[in-house]
Amino acid sequence: MKTTWRTLWQQNDIVVYRDEVEVDRLPAERIERVYLVYRGHGDTPNDIAQTIVELAGAEGYALFEPNTGFAGRVNFERQSFWQERRCVYWVAARAALLPWRLRFGAWRGEANNRAFRRLARDELTGRVERWQLEGPQTWEDRKRRRIERSRPFGHASGAHA
């Protein structure tokens, strides 16, 4: 039987369910950064290859594969929260190098069973520090910038001011 995953807001926590059983709870106030690792242009939730949530202190990181719904549901339900926090960053998948054991889960057929994982801070911090980040930038910020770039001369409007 296929494992199902979902994430949702419950009050001020992001709750992770596996087969409708709660497996973890991330208090929103403990979130330091959210890294949306994207393929293509990163313009739609379907472009998100993985979401990595950096938590405060020794709590480390939480990794979410697309089938958990984090990039879609959790981000869109509380846009004002993300806008206020200014903690969402974007990174191209080709530049977001992860440890080998995290790169090949889908290839080995583990993606569905390991769609959510917690990692110790020391497993990712050195790698994340080398990523070229875009942001902080919410979905709305990103959409607005994409629209500005698509307009003739829109990308240069502030360059000569």
User: What is the rounded CA–CA span in Å between residue 111 and residue 74?
Assistant: 20
**What is the model's pLDDT at position 160?**
42
159 in a structural domain: no
Of 115, 23, 26, 111, the C-alpha closest to 69 is: 115
Which of left, alpha, beta for 69 (phi over 0: left; psi -120 to 50: alpha)?
left
Structural domain containing residue 69: 31-150
157 in a structural domain: no
* Tally of structural domains, the chain: 1
7 in a structural domain: no
For 80-112, how does the pLDDT look when each residue is reduced to its tens digit (9 = 90+)?
899 999 999 999 999 888 877 776 554 445 556
46 in a structural domain: yes
pLDDT of 161 above 80? no
123 in a structural domain: yes
9 in a structural domain: no
12 in a structural domain: no
For 2-50, how does the pLDDT look when each residue is reduced to its tens digit (9 = 90+)?
889 999 999 999 999 999 999 999 999 999 999 999 998 888 888 999 9
116 in a structural domain: yes
**What is the model's pLDDT at position 159?**
44
